[in-house]
Structure formats: C-alpha cells, structure tokens
C-alpha cells in the first residue's frame, strides 16, 4: 500500500487490498460504496447457491465438426449435465475444450444499444475452472477475495456509513442533519482525499444509495477550488451502478400504515420518487459525464425483493429509475439485495466489472 505518511484511513474506510505493505505502488483505485442499510462485508458478499441459476453449456460457433467431443463422455451424461457445468470432472473439462462455450450466470434479460458482453467463455478458459473452486467456498467480500487475483496493481477501498429506515431508532436529533446526502458526500470526500484518493485513476462501484453519494461527490469535486478535491473528479475513469435510484425509489411510499410505523428517516425521504434534489443532481452528473468523458455501466433489478416483516414484495428501484440514460445499461434477473452479489467469477455482474477495470489499469512498463 502507499507508504507515504500523509495517507490516513478513517474508521469508515476499509483497505481491502493490498493488506500489507509492499514495493509496488497501485496504478488504479477501485472504490466500493454500499447502499441503505448495507455494509462492506454484507453488500459485497458472494451470493448463496439458493439464488443461483445453473451455468449453461452451448455449442461454440467457432467449433469444427471434425472432432468427436463425446468419444469418452456418454450421451446420458452429456444430457444430464449439459445445463450445470459445475458437475463436470477435470478430465471432462479438458476433453470439451474450446468446442463448447459456458454462458455466464446473471446474463441480462435486456440491454440498451450500447450494452455489450462478455456473455460467455470458451469451455477451456481458465476462469471457468476457477468458478468451480469459487462455488466450493463462500466469499464474505468478493472485491477483497477475487479482484486482486484477477488484476494486479490495484488499491481497493470499501466505504462504510451508518443509515436507517426509520426515525424511531435511537438517533440524536442533530444526526438528522448529518445524514442527508449533501453532508454525507462532503464528509466522505474529505476522508477519501485523506486516504490519497484522487492522485491516480479511479473506478467507482456503487449499490443503490451509494451511487447517489458517488454522483454528489463527483459533481462537487468538479467545482471545488482545491486541487486535491478536484482530483476525485479529474481522475475518475468510470462509474459502475448496481441498481441505483437516479430518479428515486417507491420505498418511501410503501403504504400509509408502514409510514406511520416507520416514521421514514432522512435518507429514505431523500429517496422519494422524482424528488427535485435527485433530479437536479442527476442532470449535473449527466453534464459532468459528457464533459469529463466518464464511462458509465449500470445494472437494474428485474425481480421484486421480499420484505418478510411487511409480508410484501417490492421492486426497490424501478427500471426507469435505475437507467441513468447514459452508457451501457443491463436489466438483470435478480432482486435489489442480490444484484451486487455475483455467485462466482463466472457471473456477468463480475465479469463486466472486471473487464472495465482491466481496460483502465495502466499497462506494466
């Protein structure tokens, strides 16, 4: 990690990688920011198998008909496991080779014109084998466990902050001021610049409300007179949004009864649909993206989230709110809680981010 004395990490910043000091300085910063009620080791954990669709094998379009790939694998076994690649043995993988492709899990149901893959990999690709190992273990924080193995020279930071759904919780009245988006973003900018952010290329990764914080920080940084603060914007290469409510969320309007029970918190009230401040922030962000040439990739949930305490299902972020209207946009068959939790490295949710990071990681000299 950076060995300079002025680098300071506050209690709300987690240095996920590197975890020890070494000679090589990072070439790219990747910052993960969770959403409402989230946390570094909750939001960014691996998804459980109960929420996983099987990977699919399909015939590769580049394969040639001269090779008998089934010579030592029975037709019955091929039919049995064609839909679930996790059941193949190592020698069977080697035999299949490039004649088959593995379709990534969490592939989008829909995408805009700009949206592009990867959607599949050759059956002999090393990452396919790695995904089999990933499914045997469980990652409490995939940015910490997977990204450093797939990309070198990264510094990965996880941001934590407190949030609440209701004002009935034990919150000091003064805290209602410090919990609004304006105050949070200013405080977080200070903490991140103290940690040295803004001195090298940055990729931001955000879930839900975390994306609003990113937009607020970048628009503020772009107008800041301080060179170090402005570096947060000037060095931003890309932003990845996992189900971010750019135009608000119906969460605050659940039911009249729920609102009486909840007494919605400041952060929830700021998320209401078509809230003027949110719309103004988004307009500023779109102008900044065009001016600063920032790449944007967005994922939207298509499944409702089950809220057991209220006995209902809710789509936290509607598709039209999750679509920023710029960059690549994908509709993913997951709910709000699981859209940021890939089941393995063979998830489209992970591979799309990985390819983006690799794109902006400066080449070794």
CATH code for the domain of 323: 3.40.50.1820
Share of the chain above pLDDT 90, in %: 52
In a domain, 94, yes or no: no
Give the CB-side neighbour count of residue 82, counting CA atoms within 13 A.
9
More confident residue, 131 or 77: 131
Q: Is 127 left (phi over 0), alpha (psi -120 to 50) or beta?
A: alpha
- The span from the CA of 247 to the CA of 43, in Å, is 22
In a domain, 328, yes or no: yes
- The span from the CA of 310 to the CA of 324, in Å, is 30
* Domain of 263, in residue numbers: 13-46+99-360
- The span from the CA of 357 to the CA of 240, in Å, is 10
- CA 208 remoteness from chain centre: 10
Q: In what order do the strands lie in the sheet with 28-33?
A: 13-17, 154-159, 28-33, 202-207, 236-242, 295-301, 328-332, 110-111
Tokens of 197: 């952010």
The pLDDT of residue 259: 53
In a domain, 301, yes or no: yes
| DSSP code for 161 | -
Q: Which residue has the tokens 């779109």?
A: 286
In a domain, 87, yes or no: no
In a domain, 5, yes or no: no
- The span from the CA of 340 to the CA of 42, in Å, is 10
In a domain, 88, yes or no: no
- Other beta carbons within 10 angstroms of residue 43's beta carbon come to 24
More confident residue, 170 or 59: 59
From the list 163, 243, 157, the residue with the least C-alpha distance to 197 is 157
In a domain, 147, yes or no: yes
The three-point CA angle 16-226-298 to 5° equals: 45
Axis-axis angle for helices 181-194, 227-234 (nearest 10): 100
Measure the CA dihedral 51/16/198/204, to 10°: 0
Domain count, the chain: 1
Q: Indicate the range of 33-47, 71-85, 245-259 predicted with least confidence.
A: 71-85
15: helix, coil or strand?
strand
The pLDDT of residue 87: 58
The b-or-e profile of 56-66 (16+ CB within 10 A means b, else e) is bbeebeebeee
Residue 348 has pLDDT above 90, yes or no: yes
Residues found in the chain:
365
Q: Kindly give, in sequence order, each residue whose CB lies less than 8 Å from that of residue 28, ignoring residues fewer than 6 positions away.
A: 151, 153, 154, 155, 200, 201, 202, 203, 357, 360, 361, 362
Q: Indicate the range of 55-64, 132-141, 146-155, 244-253 predicted with least confidence.
A: 55-64
38: helix, coil or strand?
coil
More confident residue, 56 or 278: 278
In a domain, 56, yes or no: no
Confidence of residue 64 (pLDDT cuts 50, 70, 90): very low
């Amino acid at each position: 990690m950076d060995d300079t004395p002025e680098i300071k990490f506050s209690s709300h910043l987690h240095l996920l990688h590197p975890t020890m000091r070494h000679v090589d300085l990072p070439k790219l910063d990747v910052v993960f920011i969770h959403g409402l009620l989230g946390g570094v080791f909750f939001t960014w954990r691996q998804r459980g198998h109960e929420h996983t669709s099987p990977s699919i094998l399909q015939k590769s379009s580049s394969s040639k008909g001269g090779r008998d790939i089934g010579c030592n694998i029975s037709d019955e076994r091929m039919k049995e496991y064609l839909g679930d690649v996790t059941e193949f043995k190592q020698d069977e993988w080697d035999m299949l080779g490039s004649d088959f492709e593995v379709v990534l899990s969490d592939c989008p149901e829909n995408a805009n014109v700009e949206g592009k893959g990867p959607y599949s990999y050759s059956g002999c690709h090393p990452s396919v084998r790695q995904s089999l190992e990933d499914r045997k273990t469980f990652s409490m924080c995939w940015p910490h466990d997977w990204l450093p193995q797939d990309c070198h020279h990264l510094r990965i930071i996880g941001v934590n902050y407190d949030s609440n759904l209701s004002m009935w919780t034990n919150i000091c009245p003064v805290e209602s001021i410090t919990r609004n988006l304006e105050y949070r973003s200013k405080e977080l900018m200070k903490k991140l610049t103290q940690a040295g952010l803004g001195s090298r290329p940055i990729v931001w990764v955000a879930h839900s409300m975390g994306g609003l914080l990113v937009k607020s920080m970048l628009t503020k940084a772009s107008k800041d007179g301080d060179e170090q603060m402005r570096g947060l914007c000037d060095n931003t290469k890309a932003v990845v949004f996992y189900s971010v409510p750019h135009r608000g969320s119906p969460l605050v309007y659940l039911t009249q009864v729920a609102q009486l029970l909840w007494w919605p918190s400041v952060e929830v009230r700021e998320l209401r649909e078509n809230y003027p401040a949110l719309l103004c922030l988004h307009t500023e962000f779109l102008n900044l993206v065009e001016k600063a040439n920032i790449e944007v990739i967005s994922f939207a949930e298509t499944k409702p989230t089950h809220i057991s305490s209220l006995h209902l299902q809710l789509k936290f972020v509607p598709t039209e709110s999750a679509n920023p209207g710029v960059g690549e946009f994908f509709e993913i068959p997951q709910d709000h809680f699981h859209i940021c939790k890939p089941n393995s490295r063979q998830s489209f949710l992970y591979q799309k981010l990985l390819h983006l990071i690799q794109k902006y990681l400066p080449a070794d000299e």
